[in-house]
Structure 1
Amino acid sequence: MTGSSTDPRRLIPRTDAVLGEPRLSEPQRRLGRALVRRAVVDAQQRARAGELAPERIVDAALAALPDTAAGSLTPVLNATGVLLHTNLGRAVLSDAALAAVGVAAGTCDLELDLATGTRGRRGRGALDALADAIPAAAAVHVVNNGAAALALVATALAGPATATPEIVIARGELVEIGDGFRIPELLAATGARLREVGATNRVHLRDYADAIGPATGFILKVHPSNFRVTGFTSSVSVAELSALGRPLVVDIGSGLLTREPLLPDEPDAATALGDGATLVTASGDKLLGGPQVGLLLGSPGAGAELVHQLRRHPLARALRVDKLTLAALEATLLGPPTPTALALHASPAGLTRRAEALAARLRAVAVNASAIPSEATVGGGGAPGVALPSAAVALPERYAAALRAGRPSVLGRLEGGRCVLDLRALPEEADDPLYAAVCAADRATRPG
């Protein structure tokens, strides 16, 4: 009976007594007492509900705690075949960037000139590295993401406080990207008016020329990013638009600084500036392979003056990046090839070799695994429609849920009744953890 001396719930130890267990001392030092206490209380509740034996409370609390850091984020092995998976945080930072973040996390010379002991330029190292990486830009600036870059430009050049409140843009470039975010709504929120030109599928130079007037703040050209329009279409090039005599802002989206032969249709900053763009905006956590930032790259002359104007705009303070982001960006630009670049250029033959070796190892422990050809994508709104040849390990579909629940979690894709683990977004050193994760999922899904 409930409340009797034989009720196992009477054996549940007090919370303070559990927290005093030696095995919980190191987790409390590493993660903090509050987080560990919450795990203990949850385990106690499970014991009271009869789901857990009282003597297993410490084990359950330990199992519920994160392995490395306080927080809710879980490490995930990206086996989806999407290199820049938005739901998984897009670009993976390089070891160099991670090390730089570690330095910046402490006390550092963020805004101090150590030689003189006086205040220095904030983010000078990152900005200098960005300028060196894109010589076509005469001035550079960074804000906290790509949308912020566009918002800052629209506010400064076409906001309600200006005499030129209109932005001329093609109808086919009024795009919606992830999570319902729409470019026209962002621009309208700044107080600017949109002067839409052309039809959804076709726009001509005369459409832009006819729309330009005294109220035109700038012409905006937006890369559609995550979709393609084919068939009876036409668009106007950056070079043609640059001849219209108004500031031309080109949003290339994916952050490709120079042309990439594997992605011939993906716009890059160097080409856009060379073709006459006044200002180029882009994201840093996509093909650049760095942290989330918005890049502002100005051409010589008018573009450089515009960047200086944007840097001093009151809104720029609200959109500025923190020291960790600046450190990661600088190391991304100066360091070795990023994980994104390595994944993009991974050899299909090497991926096949890895898939075959991994499948053979799994079959050796009675896991039903096979190596199959696969196709990967860039993701993150970059290079829509481009298929990258890849290789994968195919498992029975029932493994998918167990892999997501593991530590580390593994996210593949469901395809043809199978759980497909594509290797292109994973470095070779992830093969052993992936093997261990599949073995653990196999144990969790076996009957009995």
Structure 2
Amino acid sequence: MTALDDHKERNARTPDEILTAIDESGVESIYYQIVTLSGKLMAKVVPVTQLKRNLENGILMHRSAIADFQTALDGELLGGGPSAPEFNAMPDLDTFAVLPWDTSTARFLCTIYEPTHRPGIGGAPFAADPRGFLRRTHAQFKERLGLELRTGCEPEMTWFGEGLDVTSRPGSNPSYEFEQLERVRPIYQRIIRYATALGFEMIEGDYEDAGQLELNWMYDVADLTADRLVTYRMICRQVARELGVTASFMPKIAPGAMGTGCHHNLSLWKGGSNALEEPGRQELHLTDVGRWALGGLLEHAAPSMIVMGQTVNSYKRYWDAGQFAPTKINWGMEDKTCTVRLSGNGRLEYKLPDSAVNPYLSHALMLTQIEDGIANEIDPDRVTIQDIPKTLGDAVQLFTDDKFVRRSVTPEIANLLVAIKSDEWARFCGAVTDWERDMYFSAGQ
């Protein structure tokens, strides 16, 4: 039996609560969603009358969708090319949700497989599927170590629109100001309402910089946190459409503005116990397992930046001193400027990921690095302090040259990441920017 056959068997046992929710909500159509390497949602919409067929057979998509249908400068369609075979996306029953802004519509997130007719690999997991890859990586991690990764993320983002402009005193910052929270009250109220309806346990939020809002939900198993982050972005874009404003996950909006990060707070659990926390221990508040996990994250941080800072714009965030973004691969106790901040409550805050991160790839890399740290008892004090790469081009090269991190993902993911991000860097290098016009347009006159 192939992995695809196994998924079809699971879907044949459709829970009654899904059928009941469809009937009670009056669902007429369903989105079948996949997540691309960039973290973007792609989807097909199908009438609910086709539910049984879709649960049994999934949906088919062109495989270049996994690379956002990006065409390289030389004309190559990345991810498979125009004549490539389709892939099979199978809905995951545990992701079913009726959309709270239109209860006539529901959604499934899907896991991707090779179609059955492909010789030798038919029915196998699609090797470039980031969401399926995280699920498999975490399952193997739990089997080998007996530990489960639980995470919570801090998804900062920026909102623009009428009535959202902020005026602060020179030298001051609007962070935490009640007045600014009131300005965005219609936004956060609607986000919280929709997120709660979709199963989030929303816990707190604050205003961080001009237009920048951060809303947090309760930590959970890493797979669920990743699903919730892409769902949160979907919610935010819907709220922006409804309120006539703009929602941006761009990592660095402007020079001098706070970068928009997506810090990952992580802990390791065995049963009901946090394996990072040793009560009464004062110097690090970490067990040996926690120290080694930290060592693994630091050891492999620099070549992971192709994932943690995946855009050209990402690297602007690490240039501004004093903006709470890390500039070096380091760690510190309650130090918000470090790559990893140790808190006193048994968790590590990994601060490299930004607001554009693909959470499936970031979590998958963290899992392999934590396992390497534990297996080799990597001491964080002995990890060489390095600079964070300064450009996407540098990050691509570091990833290409680093055997461990590159082999932490499938060859298909690694090769596509390099192709996509090399093309993105090349396009940027060939672009003429406003900065260049300001600097050179009148030079010599």
Higher relative contact order (CA 8 A, sep 6+): 1
**Fold match by TM threshold 0.5:** no
Structure 1 or 2, whichever has the larger Rg, is 1
Scaled by the length of structure 2, the TM-score of the pair is 0.26
Scaled by the length of structure 1, the TM-score of the pair is 0.26
